[in-house]
Amino acid sequence: MTEKKYLYKIDDWVIYQPSKHSPKKRSVILWVYNDNRNMYDYEIFIDGEGKIRKVMQSSLFPIDTPTY
């Protein structure tokens, strides 16, 4: 079994888009599930909605410009 490479770490801001036709939502990484026991890769907080979701890495994208 190969080791999964995680692109993001806790407190990184990302874009969350669960499917191609879903709206993009700014989110922050709360937790990285870096073990093989969990189906999900990350736990995120969706900014503006106040929701916490467990997500796969494939639904996250980098934010191109820094947010200060």
pLDDT at 5: 85
Query: Is domain 13-62 in CATH 2.30.30, yes or no?
Result: yes
- Angle (CA) 66-56-61 rounded to 5° is 25
Under a CB-based contact definition with an 8 Å cutoff, are residues 28 and 47 in contact?
Answer: yes
Q: Note the pLDDT tens digit of each residue in 13-68.
A: 999 999 999 999 999 999 999 877 778 999 999 999 999 999 999 999 999 755 54
pLDDT at 7: 92
**Cβ neighbours for 53, distance < 8 A, ≥ 6 positions apart:** 16, 43, 44, 46
State pTM to two decimals. 0.84
